[in-house]
């Protein structure tokens, strides 16, 4: 039942794996020389506890269900439901990607003590989310976006842990990851301990508020195109073109070829309905999660997007794919760039 949505995600996952392999390989060559041999950076767990206050529960609920799309990976959805409807208990996990000797599983993060994370301490959950280390000290594959989540403020982190702990337990036995030896060594470069306090983000202007939300929503993972070495193409931040299943991500910079013609009202409508006027967006774009953001937050995201450098890059998913010399992908109207 839930296969099709899973496959959709699997395609993203497959794509990200490639990206990460290369990034990790580069990182090893240039920066972290011996990490794959001597093991990942990690800190010891502390006894800290996050008091489950109603404020934290509310904030955690909002971050998890409106901004950070944890459940896009950690839950299964009914095939072809639009917007996606849960096919199993929320947070009970799924196999994200499986091919050949490779399997990546988004684990059960409900409070089930056997198959979930019911026995993990608060700090173990916190360390997994922001630093990429599981309770037993093993390394999480960086498809789990801990490299973005590292900048999550301490209070927001506490709120997410409180929310995750409140999820009803679901018993769900999933297979283990299968990560080829070389990958398993390479990803040792990804985890970074967070040992300093992370203060609340700067929220003095709508654009500053938006910058934090955009980081936590990992918009750039899908919207910033990569070169043949799988590195972000300099000067093309959020300019789109990344292949994601049947579609390519959109140029969301303020250029005329991007979303320069949007006003705030059209942006809110698009993020709430998944349609740009009559044109329906593919479900790979997690509008069905972002639609839960408040008007104020969506307006802040829009304000931040307006501060990006306008990049001329035509990407049109309604047209036949042709080679684009700007991003190197084959996408709709690529020949016009
Ligand atoms: C893009 C997909 C994706 C998103 C988004 C995501 N995760 Fe994960 N998460 C994963 C994967 C995959 C793993 C397991 C990695 C591995 O097996 O090495 C993981 C692992 C975890 C773990 C460790 C569990 C264990 O048993 O090892 C926790 C806790 C967790 N995620 C919580 C969260 C929370 C909370 C959020 C949102 C704030 C989130 N994740 C967002 C994919 C995701
Ligand atoms: C998992 C990948 C993914 C993430 C994360 C993501 N997007 Fe998208 N987005 C897409 C894809 C793919 C499309 C193109 C969909 C289509 O044309 O059917 C798209 C389309 C859009 C559009 C429509 C543009 C147009 O007029 O065609 C907007 C606006 C947008 N995204 C904004 C955002 C913002 C803001 C964020 C972060 C809050 C975000 N996206 C996060 C994949 C993603």
Phi/psi-derived region of residue 227, left when phi > 0, alpha when psi is between -120 and 50, beta in every other case: beta
Tokens matching residue 264: 């705030």
Scanning the structure block, which residue is given the tokens 């760039």? Answer: 337
- Report whether the peptide linkage leading into residue 314 is cis, meaning its omega lies within 30 degrees of zero: no
The pLDDT score that the predictor gives to residue 29 is 46
Tokens matching residue 333: 């109207």
CB distance 255 to 310 below 8 Å: yes
| CB neighbours of residue 322 within 10 Å | 13
Atom number in ligand 2 closest to CA 276: 26
Q: How far is CA 6 from CA 14, 72, 74, 221, in A?
A: 12, 10, 11, 19
Residue with the bigger pLDDT between 201 and 142: it is 201
Q: Is the pLDDT of residue 33 over 70?
A: no
Over residues 269-281, the mean pLDDT reads: 96
Residue 237, classified by CB atoms within 10 Å of its CB into exposed (0-12), middle (13-18) or buried (19+), is middle
The pLDDT score that the predictor gives to residue 100 is 76
Most confident listed range (2-11, 98-107, 243-252)? 243-252
Calculate how far, in angstroms, residue 78's C-alpha sits from the geometric centre of ligand 2. Answer: 21
The pLDDT score that the predictor gives to residue 315 is 98
What is the Cβ-side half-sphere exposure of residue 81, based on CA atoms within 13 angstroms?
14
The pLDDT score that the predictor gives to residue 12 is 56
CB distance 74 to 180 below 8 Å: no
- Name the residue at shortest CA distance from atom 12 of ligand 1: 106
Calculate how far, in angstroms, residue 12's C-alpha sits from the geometric centre of ligand 1. Answer: 15
- Name the residue at shortest CA distance from atom 14 of ligand 2: 249
Q: How far is CA 92 from CA 18, 48, 56, 84, 262, in A?
A: 26, 25, 22, 16, 38
- Smallest-distance ligand from the CA of 140: 1
To test the pocket of ligand 1, the residue of 5, 15, 56, 74 to mutate (highest count of ligand atoms within 8 Å of its CB) is 74
Q: Is the pLDDT of residue 4 over 80?
A: no
Give the C-alpha separation, 263 to 260, whole Å.
Answer: 8
pLDDT above 90 covers what percent of the chain? Answer: 69
CB distance 160 to 52 below 8 Å: no
List CB contacts of 1: < 8 A, sequence separation 6 or more: 78, 79, 87
For the stretch 208-258, pLDDT in tens is 999 999 999 999 988 999 887 667 899 999 999 998 878 999 999 999 999
The pLDDT score that the predictor gives to residue 24 is 52
- Smallest-distance ligand from the CA of 184: 1
301 lines ligand 2 (CB under 6 A): yes
Average model confidence (pLDDT) for the chain? 89
The pLDDT score that the predictor gives to residue 246 is 84
Over residues 91-119, the mean pLDDT reads: 91
Most confident listed range (2-16, 17-31, 40-54)? 40-54
106 lines ligand 1 (CB under 6 A): yes
- Name the residue at shortest CA distance from atom 8 of ligand 1: 144
To test the pocket of ligand 2, the residue of 96, 143, 206, 223 to mutate (highest count of ligand atoms within 8 Å of its CB) is 223
140 lines ligand 1 (CB under 6 A): yes
CB distance 133 to 125 below 8 Å: no
Closest CA to 312 of 239, 247, 248, 242: 239
Tokens matching residue 116: 């979930």
For the stretch 73-83, pLDDT in tens is 899 888 888 88
Closest CA to 219 of 238, 204, 202: 238
List CB contacts of 320: < 8 A, sequence separation 6 or more: 332
Calculate how far, in angstroms, residue 124's C-alpha sits from the geometric centre of ligand 1. Answer: 13
For the stretch 287-301, pLDDT in tens is 999 999 999 999 999
Q: Lowest-confidence range among 100-104, 141-145, 238-242?
A: 100-104
For the stretch 151-206, pLDDT in tens is 999 999 999 999 999 999 999 989 999 888 877 877 888 899 999 999 999 999 99
Phi/psi-derived region of residue 63, left when phi > 0, alpha when psi is between -120 and 50, beta in every other case: alpha
To test the pocket of ligand 1, the residue of 75, 116, 140 to mutate (highest count of ligand atoms within 8 Å of its CB) is 140
Give the C-alpha separation, 243 to 7, whole Å.
Answer: 15
Calculate how far, in angstroms, residue 74's C-alpha sits from the geometric centre of ligand 1. Answer: 7
pLDDT above 70 covers what percent of the chain? Answer: 88
Q: What is the CA radius of gyration of the chain?
A: 20
Q: Is the pLDDT of residue 61 over 70?
A: yes
- Smallest-distance ligand from the CA of 71: 1
- Name the residue at shortest CA distance from atom 6 of ligand 1: 70
Give the C-alpha separation, 125 to 152, whole Å.
Answer: 14
The pLDDT score that the predictor gives to residue 14 is 54
Most confident listed range (1-10, 99-108, 128-137, 182-191)? 128-137
Calculate how far, in angstroms, residue 107's C-alpha sits from the geometric centre of ligand 1. Answer: 7
CB distance 167 to 189 below 8 Å: no
Calculate how far, in angstroms, residue 154's C-alpha sits from the geometric centre of ligand 2. Answer: 28
């Amino acid at each position: 039942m839930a296969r099709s949505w899973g496959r959709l995600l699997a395609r993203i996952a497959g794509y990200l794996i490639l990206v990460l392999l290369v990034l990790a390989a580069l990182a090893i060559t240039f920066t972290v020389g011996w990490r794959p041999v001597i093991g990942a950076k990690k800190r010891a767990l502390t006894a800290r506890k996050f008091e489950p206050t109603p404020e934290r529960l509310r904030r955690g609920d909002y971050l998890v269900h409106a901004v950070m799309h944890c459940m896009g990976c950690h839950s299964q959805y009914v095939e072809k439901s639009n917007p996606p409807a849960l096919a199993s208990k929320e947070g009970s996990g799924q196999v994200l990607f499986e091919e050949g000797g490779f399997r990546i599983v988004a684990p059960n993060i409900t409070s089930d003590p056997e198959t979930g994370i019911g026995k993990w301490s608060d700090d173990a959950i916190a360390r997994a989310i922001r630093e990429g280390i599981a309770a037993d000290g093993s390394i999480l594959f960086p498809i789990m976006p801990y490299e973005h989540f590292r900048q999550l403020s301490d209070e927001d982190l506490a709120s997410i842990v409180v929310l995750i702990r409140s999820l009803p337990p679901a018993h769900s036995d999933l297979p283990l990851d299968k990560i080829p030896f070389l990958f398993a060594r390479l990803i040792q470069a990804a985890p970074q301990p967070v040992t300093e306090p992370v203060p609340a983000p700067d929220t003095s202007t709508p654009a500053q508020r938006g910058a934090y939300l955009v980081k936590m929503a990992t918009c750039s993972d899908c919207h910033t195109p990569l070169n043949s070495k799988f590195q972000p193409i300099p000067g093309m931040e959020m300019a789109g073109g990344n292949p994601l299943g049947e579609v390519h991500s959109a140029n969301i910079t303020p250029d005329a070829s991007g979303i320069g013609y949007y006003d705030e009202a059209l942006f809110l409508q698009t993020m709430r309905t998944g349609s740009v006027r009559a044109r329906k967006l593919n479900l790979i774009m997690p509008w069905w999660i972002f639609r839960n953001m408040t008007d104020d937050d969506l307006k802040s995201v829009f304000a931040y997007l307006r501060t990006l450098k306008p990049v001329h890059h035509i990407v049109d998913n309604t047209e036949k794919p042709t080679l684009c010399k700007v991003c190197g992908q084959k996408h709709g109207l690529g020949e016009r760039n």
